[in-house]
A and B are shown apart, each in its own frame.
Chain A
Amino acid sequence: MVIGSVETLIQLAHDNNSSIGQAMVKQEAALRQISEEDVLAQMKHNWQVMKESIATGIKNPQKSKGGLIGGEGRRLYDYCQGEKGLLSGLNVMEAVSYALAVAEVNATMGRIVACPTAGSCGIVPGVLKKIQEMDDLSDDQIALALMTCAGIGMVIAHRASVSGAVGGCQAECGAASAMAAAAAVELRGGTPEQAGEACAMVIKNVMGLVCDPVAGLVEVPCAKRNALGASLAMVMADMALAGITSVIPVDEVITAMGSVGRSLPETLRETARGGLAVTPTGLELNRKIFG
């Protein structure tokens, strides 16, 4: 069956008396005619790659291929360990430092897991790694959370898009943030409904976010949009866990996001012909890199 709505995801979870993540394991096993153990093992492998990409970006920061970013993840991580208290709290900022680190590894041609895309690859690993550390969770539990992410991502791909060229950055970093928020809710013991509320509240906050990469590279503003996505996911997950709901139901929110994406002009959909890409500095950087 095609997973076309968050409502379907929640129903599947209730039918199995499980989380969305566990229901997605069953779905995937049935779709590909493999065992549930194999699905989880494959997802654990992807988690391994995600953790390695965080470690690489934090321990061995490098300048990106285009030269516009590099080392910000490490810088923030070090700042988090300092004595001066953080405004927004250690958990959020460490998650953000991990997200930045992975986005930087991507920009150095390092190995990452597209999640849902390469441009937004830092958000889900950043959030899940921090929650794993906070709550001392096993890799199996994180693999299940990644299945929750996959379920939400599928719905967004179906009702809207997960491509910046089609729907702008809301479709990439926005989708990743919504996926991470739903998974965070489940990891912290929230209900499938609360996971859906977190997803809705994230997307409401990134509605219309444009894709305007400087020089067409996956560097500026992409890395910092990964920072946005990771922090927003944690904030919205906490709000959902507190019992706050979205007035507009989640599936309607996702449909609206798709419609907003389609009405974005092409200049703001990954073409590097609008937004930050055509600021004086953006154009100057483009000239410097490509001559």
Chain B
Amino acid sequence: MSEYSCFDIIGPVMVGPSSSHTAGAVRLGRFARAIAKELPSEVRIYLHGSFAQTYKGHGTDLALLGGLLGMETDDVRIRDSYRLADEAGLCYTFIAADLGDGYHANTAKFVMKLSDGSEKTVTGCSIGGGKVLITELDGFPVEIEGIYPTLIDTHLDQPGVIHKITGVLVDYQVNIAAMKVFRQEKNTIAYMVVETDQEVPEEALKEIIAMRPVLDVKFIKPF
């Protein structure tokens, strides 16, 4: 078993009432915001399972929205998220939905409309104690916990791309803690998720995005 820190037991500092239904929900919202790279103009949030049944009483809706507005898990303004979203010009809808059998009971799916007219979707679940797992990005299955700095790239599924990207990380002395590659079909588009020990510098991201098979790259700080 892993070693606990004292602050796993006496902590985190958070707004109530529930680490899974509130703190975890804030973190899902923060991740969606990091993927959007901007405050979306519009968001539809689908709530599944226990989230669908009890979101009102736990403030899960406020927490998801607060995260999307960039708030931390201990921000007391979370209870005013509806008003703050209105003021920020974010149009939001919550939809209780059955996403299907394979989803954790505390799952939320964000469908975000961005300023360039594109749409981004993020699906993740709150697995207890404030821990989360991002399970889908734009329909691709992924597994992201958000504990480590994380690099997420989309590239054309060709030989050598992963080698090139990890080569850049070597150049910038970024150590890889874990990595996974996901794709739907051969020779189409692949997602790569790389968890690192260090933050990936802006220059490294520029080098990666400049590679022809790379379509998009994002660096997400622990959230």
A interface residues with partner B (beta carbon < 8 Å): 1-3, 24, 27-28, 31-32, 39, 42-43, 45-46, 49, 64-66, 105-119, 121, 124, 146-147, 149-151, 153-154, 157-158, 162-163, 165, 179, 215-219, 289-290
Contacts and interface: CB of A to CB of B under 8 A. Distances in A.
B1 A217 contact: no
B10 A146 contact: yes
Contacts, number: 137
A117 B17 contact: no
B76 interface: yes
B76 A112 contact: no
Interface string B51-62: 001101111001
A150 B59 contact: no
B70 interface: no
16 contacts: A3-B4, A39-B6, A46-B10, A46-B13, A65-B57, A109-B22, A109-B76, A111-B13, A111-B76, A114-B19, A114-B130, A117-B19, A118-B16, A118-B19, A218-B58, A290-B53
Given A105-B16, A109-B62, A150-B6, A114 B11 contact: yes
Interface size of B as a range: 35 or more
Given A31-B3, A289-B56, A112 B9 contact: no
Nearest to A215: B57
B75 to A, nearest CB: 8
Contact of A215 (B7, B22, B54): B54
A255 to B, nearest CB: 15
Interface of B: 1, 3-19, 22-23, 50, 53-54, 56-59, 62, 74, 76, 78-79, 128-130
Contacts of A3: 4
Given A65-B58, A149-B9, A153-B9, A109 B53 contact: no
A42 B17 contact: no
B128 A163 contact: yes
6 smallest A-B Cβ distances: which pairs? A106-B16, A153-B9, A150-B6, A218-B17, A66-B57, A109-B79
B16 to A, nearest CB: 3
